[in-house]
Amino acid sequence: MAFHVRDAETDALVRALARQRGVGLTEAVRLAVQAELEQGEADLQDKLKRMQGVSETVARWEPTGLKADKAFFDAESGD
């Protein structure tokens, strides 16, 4: 499955990566896409880990016994 790069900057970046790594253009594209996907997954896992920490902190909070004021929250949200 072929595709054409019609952007001069992207073409230059792919060629620079290919030269740097000593690989062909297709391999340079594969390496760049693979690295970006792996970084995206690592970023997602980091975010999920931080969210889990927040969730665990909130879960330890004791209930206050206070009732939510529906009219107040409706007014705040514009309902």
**pLDDT (average), residues 48-53:** 97
Residue 61 lies in a domain: yes
Domain that includes residue 73, residue range = 8-77
Residue 34 lies in a domain: yes
Residue 1 lies in a domain: no
- Within 8 A by CB and 6+ apart from 41, the residues are none
Query: What local confidence, expressed as pLDDT, does residue 32 receive?
Result: 98
Residue 3 lies in a domain: no
**pLDDT (average), residues 37-66:** 96
pLDDT at 50 over 90: yes
Query: What local confidence, expressed as pLDDT, does residue 58 receive?
Result: 96
Report in angstroms the alpha-carbon separations of 16 from 22, 28, 30, 32, 48: 10, 9, 14, 11, 34
Band of the pLDDT at 78, cuts 50, 70, 90?
confident
- Our count of domains for the chain comes to 1
